[in-house]
Structure 1
Amino acid sequence: MNITYCRNCIRMSSSLQYHFKKPAEQLADFVFGFSSLNNISDCKEGVIIPNGRIDLLLCRTTDGRFFIVLMGLETQPKTMPQQNISMFFSISFNPLSLEYILDESIAELVNNGKELPEKFWGFREEDLNNFEDFCSKASDVIKKHLSNSIDERKRNLFRLIFDVNGEISIKELSETIHWSERQINRYFTKYLGVTLKMYCKILRFQKSLEYIKDGILSPQLNFSDQSHFIKDVKKLSGVSPKELFKNDNDRFLQFLVFPKK
């Protein structure tokens, strides 16, 4: 996905405080980025919309509880969970990480998540004290878990999908990376729990947010027409492009990832 992110951007929305940092180049195929969000409990109407990533969250609640959760892919909008979460630090993984870092499928976690064992990967509540230290520790841990043997067809598969924001057919993918259409589809359903077509639709929607954020409410990507564009945006965000652009009360948290202009 070619959305422009700053290396370490800070965005404040009302009382929300958001930080984002890209990974080192060595991890770029597996990790989309690291982020933190503070004062979440002040956000009463937050909406989470699909972004095509797998998030590992270190969370602290308003009553001091610490826990770690792995979130599956989102395919529909949902309101912020009512868990009185005050802050979290996050690792946003790209799908390739499921096989080569996390070593598990999230097919059963679509629009859901699961709490991980205490001290997963050696993370502790103290890791929430400093975002830069968290990014360094997370990077080191990920490198230790990264497989030494990567199927280059799969690496190229995701590079190509991201480069074109999901605007590619499975036939073209298959011919380009020399992997059968059947195997590609089975890979997506096995590890992600969604079809390639659905995943590509999410990436195209994410790229569309960049234009919607700037008030461009007509399709700039490969939608067949305006009604198709509106239908897809509504399905993945719950509202029309016009309502997304207004972003009343800063409730669409995904817009936090866009740096200020």
Structure 2
Amino acid sequence: MSNDIEYKMVKPDASLSEFVESFWMLTNHSENAREIIVLPDGRVDIIFAYSATEPFGASLVGLESQPSKIMFSPGSIMFAVSLKLLAIEYILDIDIPHLLNHGQHLLSGFWEITREDLNNFDDFCKKVSTKLSALRKENVDPRKQKLFELMYTSKGSLTVKEMSDQVHWSSRQINRYFSQLFGLSLKAYCNILRFRASFQHIKEGKLFPEQNFTDQAHFIKEIKKFSGVLPKELSKNKDDRFIQFSTLTKK
């Protein structure tokens, strides 16, 4: 990644790991805007940000099923929390189907985070963690807990029927739940998780399926569907424009 772009990420405490994937920060230290392409990754983000030209504000970014292009303004600072889907119902307590491939501004003072809280990333993570713990509901539906555990641990490789059988919840009911709360089907969400699981392989130049893609042609089709480019171009990541690839390290 360019020296002008700074990125940090930390994982949540174990007590929040069921609801939170990570906390992250992204800063553009240069005097020039950078074009960035954000790829679908199965996360819901709450972002607090400001730049040299934009005032401080907060936004909620829903799930994405297609790549999106943004201009990362000079002097931009973003601090964010990436949520797993269970948090939508049991922490945020909102439905987000209207936010598929969209975001919305949040009210001023959301979670009592201010511009000054973006001065120190560690302190930001602690403050948001405390807020999330306070908002978290008890008595999570065990079927949903098991369903999301299967999805994330399998990286989207299990079929809807396999998960339905294991959680004892009908496929029809699961898909209704997903459509009403998140704006897409369970299968569509698992396809996004599978796409994301291929990032590391593609970053390392392994341009063949290592997840449960049917064959090479299916792999190429799915990568292009979610990224807009072929696996080879994604691997090259010209100008570090695919931000999720820029922040990966080769193993």
TM-score, length basis structure 2 = 0.95
Tell whether the 8 Å contact from 1:43 to 1:251 is kept in structure 2 after alignment: no
2:27 matches 1:31: no
Structure 1 residues 138 and 32, CA, compared in 2 at 3 Å: closer, same or farther? same
Secondary structure of 1:101's counterpart equals helix
Q: Distance in 2 between matches of 1:253 and 1:234?
A: 16
- 1:115 Cα shift? 0.2
Structure 1 residues 85 and 118, CA, compared in 2 at 3 Å: closer, same or farther? farther
2:162 to 172, 175, 179: 172
What residue number does 1:224 align with? 214
Q: Distance in 1 between matches of 2:240 and 2:72?
A: 18
2:185 matches 1:195: yes
1:93 to 75, 78, 83: 83
What residue number does 1:121 align with? 111
- 1:81 Cα shift? 4.5
Tell whether the 8 Å contact from 2:39 to 2:67 is kept in structure 1 after alignment: yes
Q: Distance in 1 between matches of 2:192 and 2:75?
A: 26
Secondary structure of 2:23's counterpart equals strand
Q: CA RMSD in A?
A: 1.5
* Per-residue CA distance 1:77-136 (angstroms, 9 max, x = gap): 111157667110010000000000000011000110000000101111111000000000
Tell whether the 8 Å contact from 2:41 to 2:196 is kept in structure 1 after alignment: yes
Structure 1 residues 171 and 85, CA, compared in 2 at 3 Å: closer, same or farther? farther
2:230 matches 1:249: no
What residue number does 2:124 align with? 134
1:56 to 40, 46, 60: 46
Structure 1 residues 84 and 128, CA, compared in 2 at 3 Å: closer, same or farther? same
1:33 partner letter: S
- 1:256 Cα shift? 3.7
Q: Distance in 2 between matches of 1:260 and 1:220?
A: 16
2:61 to 66, 71, 85: 71
Tell whether the 8 Å contact from 1:18 to 1:256 is kept in structure 2 after alignment: no
Tell whether the 8 Å contact from 2:97 to 2:181 is kept in structure 1 after alignment: yes
What residue number does 1:45 align with? 35
Give the gaps of 5 or more residues in structure 1.
Answer: 1-11
